[in-house]
Amino acid sequence: MKLKELRKENQKTQDDLARALNVSHGTYNNYEQGKYEPNIDTIIKLANYYDVSIDYLVGRDYKNEIGYINETQKNSIKTLIK
């Protein structure tokens, strides 16, 4: 999962996320370290918190006719809007 990356991009601490998810610091740390997997309710809360899709959150990247963009395209867009 991209938890640490998203947390740092959003300038949040592990304590901030633990409070937002109503879990202990240790539990959240274990999510980031990959020691525990959050349940689906927690994954939904994380996706809502960061305003990202669950697919993005869990690292699923695929292409289909709907028009998902890859990481290179996302980075190009980020560069353009800065």
Neighbours of 56 (CB within 10 A): 16
Dist CA 13 CA 5 (whole Å): 11
Quick one: pLDDT at residue 58?
Answer: 85
Q: Which pLDDT score, from 0 to 100, does residue 37 have?
A: 92
**Which tokens belong to 61?**
């990247």
Those residues with Cβ within 8 angstroms of residue 7's Cβ, 6 or more apart along the chain or in another chain: 13, 14, 16, 17, 32
pLDDT at 40: 94
CA nearest neighbour of 59 among 34, 81, 77: 34
- pLDDT tens sequence across 7-66: 999 999 999 999 999 999 999 999 999 999 999 999 999 999 999 989 888 887 665 555
State the pLDDT at residue 81: 76
pLDDT at 62 (0 to 100): 60
